[in-house]
Amino acid sequence: LLVCVTFFFASAGASSAYLTVSEIFPMETRALAIAFFYAVGERGVHWRFLFPDAERARARYPATAARLDEAIDIPLSANLTERDRDHVVEAVRKVVGAGAGRC
């Protein structure tokens, strides 16, 4: 019963927040915010096939593994052009390569 009551109030709060945001922000901003939180919640695009050395970096730096996931998932989850995506891939490969060379 407590769970039902909690979800009742949570759904009312989410609905009122969505209506408030829809009146304040333009549609593009709302869409980006929804996409951002969806990407964070769903762990974004499965990017590990792009960076074969990323798993080694995650094993070496376990405290930053979640931050590494979010830093890569969020930009790749947006509607980037092919050129933008290539820049992100190149930058992350440099960071992962530099981290793997340390220690």
User: What confidence score (pLDDT) does residue 74 get?
Assistant: 58
Phi, psi for 26 (deg, rounded to 5): -70, 165
User: What confidence score (pLDDT) does residue 29 get?
Assistant: 76
User: What confidence score (pLDDT) does residue 55 get?
Assistant: 66
Residue 76 CA to residue 36 CA, distance in Å, equals 11
Residue spans per domain, the chain: 43-101
Query: How remote is the C-alpha of 13 from its chain's centroid?
Result: 24
User: What confidence score (pLDDT) does residue 103 get?
Assistant: 46
The percentage of the chain sitting over the pLDDT mark of 90, rounded to a whole number, equals 0
Residue 28 token pair: 């593009």
Whether the pLDDT of residue 27 is over 50: the answer is yes
Residue 87 CA to residue 101 CA, distance in Å, equals 21
Residue 73 CA to residue 40 CA, distance in Å, equals 8
